[in-house]
Structure 1
Amino acid sequence: MTVRAFDSIVIGSGPAGEGAAMKLAKAGQRVAVVEAHSQVGGGCTHWGTIPSKALRHSIQTLADYRRNPLFHHTLEQVEVQFPDLLRAADSVIDHQVRTRYRYYQRNRVELVFGHARFADEHNLDVIRPDGATERLRADAIVIATGSRPYHPPDVDFSHPRVLDSDSVLALKHTPRSMTIYGAGVIGCEYASIMSYLDVKVNLVDTRDRLLSFLDDEITDALSYHLREQGVVIRHDETYERVEPQDDGVVLHCRSGKRLKTDVLLWANGRSGNTRDLGLDNIGLEPNTRGQLEVNKSYQTALPHIYAAGDVAGPPALASASYDQGRFVGAHIANGACDWSLVDEFPTGIYTVPEISSVGRTERELTASQIPYEVAQAQFKTIARAQITGHTVGMLKILFHRDTLEILGIHCFGEQASEIIHIGQAIMSQAGEANSIQYFAETTFNYPTMAEAYRVAALNGLNRLF
């Protein structure tokens, strides 16, 4: 068998794989990227972040149209189905794929399409779509294979009415009703999306509150708006079994509840894509969720084999995965890395309205006995929000009462995932530069959503006197 040699091989072309490949190529290495799918971009581009966020944008556009009094006389003429909204994402996916192809070509990274398996610690066998196998060899290998929806063995995902976050994107109609099992980020996003299509949604949460890692006030607001949109939220429920039928799906809960809807969307957890990678040939064993244990440099138990992105576990965010990939690329190229990944990275949750957060919550600060104060700006008072009609939401800044250091920022409302970055930039400053005083003394364009930082800062500082 002919063996082709590279300096480094990256398995997977999602955010982590792309980040690693680009960094290695810039360092002058000969790099190959192995991609099992027929196109580059990974799950992020084809089944996860891009299609779901494009879908969410279409839903927001539809909601704005329905709310705008200019178009009230035309509402009866508009009937939008779920597949129509999905088609709006196709052009975005296509553009993203073509852009990424150019990145690889420009940086002379070789793309190899096929399924990779470890033959030994330095060699990979790649089974191409036509069945042919070739062997690739490298000094360093990066596993960036991403993740897939978790499938419990007792749930029949082959049934057309039982969906996961990948297969829901293939729906050919708008269901009348849907049960979503799992109220994490994906579950809440789809509950929000489907409710705006007038789908009757049951959101089944295995915990006692939605998204418990977020600030309580923000999750309370999310619960309120989901319920206002018609979503029925059921907390502290665990499934006993799923019963697919010809005319629907019944979710049997251990509490005795039985929820029958047109379809079931399983949104409870994800598994790392490590199956059939040949890890047993090199002595690596993933955990029960298919994830690989890594050290702070993202090295596995074999130092020349790295894992980055979803396959390495939390936080499993596209943004963080890309940074992890770049970190790994620098570590391989230089033997070390002179920069570290930020501890405080923002989370973005694309419900309607959006949620974004960075730093600590009130619950965490109270538990740590840190004296803090709350600064708030309600979007209904912001001129830009009044102009756009997006008056639902708030910006909340938590800061130290004595030093005025910003400790956490939490935003709920349209453009929250954009607004958060202004606060993130100030939080990242050292010493006295990280102060809520900055927002009180800075001139913001008017009218803008960014002005909410000045309104919140003045509100918070007024609480001190």
Structure 2
Amino acid sequence: MTNQLDFSSLRLAILGGGPGGYEAAMVASSLGADVTIIERKGLGGSAVLTDVVPSKTLIATADTMTRFLDAHDLGVEFADETAVSANLHRVNQRLLKLALEQSSDIRQTLERLGVRVIIGTGKLLDNHRIEVVPGDGGETTVVEADALLLALGSHPRELPDAMPDGERIFNWTQLYNLTEIPQHLIVVGSGVTGAEFASAYNGLGSKVTLVSSRDRVLPGEDADAAEVLEGVFRDRGMTVLSEARASAVERTETGVMVRLADGRTVEGTHCLVAVGAIPNTEGIGLENAGVAVNKSGHITVDGVSRTTAPNVYAAGDCTGVLALASVAAMQGRIAMAHLLGDTVTPLKLKQVASNIFTSPEIATVGVSEADVESGRYQGDIVKLSLHTNARAKMLGVKDGFVKVISRKGSGTVIGGVVVGPRASELIFPLALAVTRKLHVDDVANTFTVYPSLTGSISEAARRLHVHL
């Protein structure tokens, strides 16, 4: 005899089909709830259709190009020095096809689980009803539910004097319209999105100028990692303009001109404006349901994804917690666990592993060196350059490092940084150590393959050994 609860009578409506929405739908449906998901464009949301999937597919092509161009150092020779080039039209066709396939796969999975999928635009009437205008022009309907989850996502922030036209001036959702590699791409914004696209198009063969309003690229990331990346950018011919705020972007006869606040101008053939994102919370009827938003327009949530309205949860970029698909998905799963009375652990941001898909990649987890330097945490830090790692030498890797942070006194792993190829994969052992509160000796005494890049993680842990 089991004590499994019956949720077949619970009706859940989810507004938004991105990672926060579709992951929540899978969890709730698997536990027996009656689930309806309403999505404006397609399952997967912007993460799948216009953001994560297409951009990282583009980056994968650029990374392959970069590795080919660096192959000379490994003794690889080409009969034709101009043999390696990118057909951007084919690249973009492939990435958009992958995005649509991924979206279709998600929809099929949800429908197999019994989730009702509606493609249309929704607006909250109260905390139990969503008015839906179908995307096919059909009749407006009202979806009633016992609980709601809002996974509304976000859209690119635009500058009044730099409005994208999809031809020469772009936001990051429009770049896939390009059919030829830009001769000179100016990227306004040196955060994660700007840095990733600057790295990608530099790898694809564009001349790139990166305009940063701050004193360095990736101002919110590990300072050592940002320094390595900026050095790589400059070595690969990229122009990085630091402390240069863009005030306007204009079309010219041959391309674009970016005006800087100090009076300087930069001319190129194309411009990407990557200056942040705005949550899709306006005009959605949040006030009708009693859902509060903060000054930036993000929905206020607690550690288990509850909003200020009874029976209404929220997940993803619209909450402003951390704009990562993995965090959105976790917020959605946590919301469902709380709603349905399952075992629930509140979201812990210091356990979130994140990655910046530049070349080299930058991955982080847990407490940062800045946290230690500010006194918020007491920690010991060891940083090992990859240039001493045998596997890195074999691969021709010259730029990158591993940084491990342990709690002072106890030796518990509390943070880490990896800069290098496939850092997104290499961060996992450190994320596991942080989440499970492993001791540096646990990491150091775990066998690693020789030679391997993970050997540097083990070595850093050994150097943090606490002598008792």
Q: Normalising by the residue count of structure 2, what TM-score does the alignment of the two structures yield?
A: 0.91
Q: Give me the whole-angstrom Cα distance separating, in 2, the residues matched to 1:401 and 1:280.
A: 47
Which segment is superposed worse, 270-279 or 46-55? 270-279
- 1:317: Cα distance to partner? 0.3
- Report the Cα distance in structure 2 between the residues aligned to 1:70 and 1:83, rounded to whole angstroms: 28
Contact 2:303 2:347 in 1 (8 A): no
Deviation at 1:293, TM superposition (A): 1.9
Does the CA-based 8 Å contact 2:304-2:331 persist in structure 1? no
Contact kept? 2:54, 2:95, Cα under 8 Å: yes
C-alpha distance in 2 between matches for 1:369 and 1:300: 28
1:77 aligns with 2:80: no
Post-superposition offset of 1:23: 1.5
Matches within 5 A, 1:180-219: 180-219=187-226
Determine if contact 1:66/1:72 at 8 Å carries over to the other structure.
Answer: no
Structure 1 residues 257 and 138: alpha-carbon distance in aligned structure 2, compared to 1, 3 A threshold: same
Confirm or deny that 1:48 pairs with 2:48.
no
Residue deviations 1:389-428 (CA, integer Å, cap 9, x gap) = 3343111112245322223211100011111110111122
The 1-side partners of 2:94 and 2:137 are apart by 34
Q: Tell me the distance in 1 between the aligned counterparts of 2:186 and 2:433.
A: 41
Shift of 1:6: 7.1
1:159, CA displacement in angstroms?
5.9
Choose the corresponding residue for 2:38, options 24, 34, 37.
34
TM-score under structure 1 length normalisation: 0.91
Q: Which residue of 1 aligns with 2:129?
A: 123
Structure 2 contact 161–247 (Cα < 8 Å) conserved: no
Aligned-residue offset at 1:128: 1.3
Question: Pairwise mapping of residues 243-254 of structure 1 onto structure 2 (< 5 A)?
Answer: 243-254=250-261
Q: Quick check: 1:321 aligned with 2:360?
A: no
Q: 2:246 aligns with which of 226, 230, 239?
A: 239
Alpha carbons 1:147, 1:273 under 8 Å: kept: yes
- Relative distance call for 1:189 and 1:10 in structure 2 (3 A) is same
Structure 1, unpaired ranges of 5+ = none
State the 1:313 CA deviation: 0.7
Confirm or deny that 1:439 pairs with 2:443.
Answer: yes
Superposed, which structure 2 residues align to 1:361-372 within 5 Å? 361-368=368-375, 372=379
- Corresponding position: 1:58 with 2:61: yes
1:102 corresponds, among 101, 108, 111, to 108
**Distance in 1 of aligned mates of 2:185 and 2:61:** 20
Equivalent residues in 2 for 1:404-419, closer than 5 Å: 404-419=411-426
Q: Distance in 1 between matches of 2:222 and 2:203?
A: 25
Aligned partner of residue 204 in structure 2, secondary structure = coil
Pair 1:166–1:7, CA change in 2 (3 A): same
The CA deviation string for residues 96-136 of structure 1, in whole angstroms up to 9 with x for no partner, is 22331232022110101111122333222211123221221
Give secondary structure in 2 for the equivalent of 1:76. coil
CA deviations on 1:210-253 (whole Å, 9 max, x unpaired) are 22332211111111111111222222222222222232222212
Deviation sequence 1:284-333 (CA, Å, 0-9, x none):
46445442222333222212222110011130100011000001112222
Encode CA deviations 1:6-44: one digit per residue, 9 max, x unaligned. 70100111100012111211221100011111x311111
Size of the aligned set, in residue pairs, is 455
Distance 1:257 1:211 in 2: 23
Indicate whether 1:11 and 2:11 are aligned: no
Distance 1:371 1:296, change over 3 A: closer
- Against the structure 1 CA distance between its residues 181 and 314, is the aligned structure 2 distance closer, same or farther, given a 3 Å change threshold? farther
| Aligned residue identity for 2:450 | Y
In structure 2, list runs of 5 or more residues that go unmatched: 1-8
Q: Which moved more, 1:248-257 or 1:5-14?
A: 5-14
- For residues 407 and 278 of structure 1, do their structure 2 counterparts lie closer, same or farther at Cα, with a shift above 3 Å needed? closer
- Find 1:457's aligned residue among 454, 458, 461: 461
SS at match of 1:377: strand
- Tell me the amino acid that sits aligned with residue 128 of structure 2: H
2:268 paired residue number: 261
Pick the aligned partner of 1:383 from 390, 408, 411.
390
What SS does structure 2 have at the residue aligned with 1:13?
coil
Counterpart Cα distance in 2 of 1:260 and 1:238: 15
2:166 and 2:177 in contact (8 A); partners too: no
Structure 1 pair 121–185 and aligned structure 2 pair: CA distance change class (3 A): same
Q: Does the CA-based 8 Å contact 1:249-1:264 persist in structure 2?
A: yes
Any residues of structure 2 matched to 1:257-406 within 5 Å, and which? Answer: 257-284=264-291, 286-287=293-294, 289-334=296-341, 338-343=344-349, 344-368=351-375, 372-406=379-413
Structure 1 residues 373 and 287, CA gap change in structure 2 (3 angstroms)? closer
> How large is the Cα RMSD of the aligned pairs?
2.3
Q: Secondary structure at the match of 2:321?
A: coil
CA deviation map 1:57-93 (0-9, x unaligned): 1111111122224342244233313333323324532
1:80-91 equivalences in 2 (<5 Å): 80-91=86-97
Moved more, 13-22 or 272-281: 272-281
Work out the percentage of aligned pairs sharing the same amino acid. 27
Q: Deviations over 1:327-367 (max 9, x none)?
A: 11122222x75322233211200000100011222232122
Distance (whole Å) between structure 2 residues aligned to residue 151 and residue 290 of structure 1: 15
